Amino acid sequence: MLLAPLTLATPVKKAATTGPHIAGTYQLIYRMLPDGKAMTGQDIQGMMTYTATCRNLNVHWAEADGKAVSISYICGYEFKNGEYCEHPMYWMQNNLGEPGLKYDVPANKGDCTKVTVNGKKTTFALSGEPPVVTFEGDSLTAVAEGQFVDHWAKVK
């Protein structure tokens, strides 16, 4: 079997030297739904890694009707002028909002969003996605108002 090397269409930009430290690998522990139900175990899995310059996200879950939904995303990112900015390289979604695979990067995905730092908490919106994320110590919370609250823990 011959495997071709993966090449990224967009070069990774060097991260700004200032900004919060969020690097690490985070595992999705559970998702809380608006009705109070928690999704865990086989209902939802996720892994997200932030390096100094890149973010890689993979999440898979089963809807109430059993339909599988997934997202895979790769981007460069940087903190600059009090903002968090992503530079999309790859996006894949399956059964997210509409049936089938889609590879189109969501509108506004490359926009920058304001960063708020309050003590050990760092909060910013993910442009082109519903969640607002908060990093605090070894935890990450992603809140998509009216949709879900995801709870992530840093892998050690």
The parent domain of residue 86 ranges over 24-154
- Is the residue at 1 inside a domain? no
Q: At 33, which CATH number?
A: 2.40.128
- Is the residue at 145 inside a domain? yes
Calculate the CA dihedral of residues 121, 70, 102, 73 and round it to 10 degrees: 40
pLDDT given for residue 97 in this prediction:
87
10 has a pLDDT exceeding 70: no
- Is the residue at 56 inside a domain? yes
- Is the residue at 129 inside a domain? yes
Among 147, 109, 146, 152, CA closest to 134: 152
- Is the residue at 30 inside a domain? yes
Number of domains in the chain: 1
- Is the residue at 17 inside a domain? no
pLDDT given for residue 110 in this prediction:
82
CA dist 156 → 26, 27, 48, 130 (Å): 9, 10, 13, 27
Average pLDDT, stretch 75-100?
A: 95
- Is the residue at 107 inside a domain? yes
Percentage with pLDDT > 90 across the chain? 75
96-105: long-range contacts at Cβ-Cβ below 8 A with a sequence spacing of 24 or more?
Answer: 96/69, 96/70, 96/71
**pLDDT tens across 39-65, in order?**
999 899 999 999 999 999 999 999 988
pLDDT given for residue 18 in this prediction:
62
